[in-house]
Amino acid sequence: MPPDALGQSVGFAPGQEVLIWIREQVFAEGGAIHNPDHAHLIDADLAVLWADGGFTSKMRTVIGTAEEVAFRCNAWQRGRQEQQMAQWFGRVPSFLITLDGQFARQCSDAEWCALVEHELYHLAHKRDDFGAPMFTKDGKPKIAIRGHDVEEFVGVVRRYGIGSQDSHLARLVRAGSTAPEVSRVSLAGACGTCLLKAA
φ and ψ at residue 27, rounded to 5 degrees: -80, -40
Q: What is the pLDDT of residue 36?
A: 95
* Residue-level pLDDT at 192: 45
CB 31 within 8 A of CB 39: no
| pLDDT level of residue 7 (50, 70, 90 thresholds) | confident
pLDDT at 124: 96
- Please name the amino acid found at residue 7: G
Answer whether 15's CB lies under 8 Å from 23's CB: no
Domain boundaries, the chain: 12-146
- Work out the angle at residue 63's Cα, subtended by the Cα atoms of residues 58 and 66, and round it to the nearest 5 degrees: 90
Residue-wise pLDDT for 82-140, tens only, equals 999 999 999 999 999 999 999 999 999 989 999 999 999 999 999 999 999 999 999 99
Q: What is the pLDDT of residues 153-193, one digit of tens each?
A: 888 888 889 888 888 899 999 999 998 888 776 655 555 44
Does residue 36 sit in helix, strand or coil?
A: helix
Q: Which of 51, 40, 36, 41 is nearest to 3 (CA)?
A: 51
pLDDT of residue 8: 87
- Mean pLDDT for the stretch of residues 67-92: 95
Q: State residue 195's pLDDT score.
A: 44
> Considering the entire predicted model, what is its pTM?
0.86
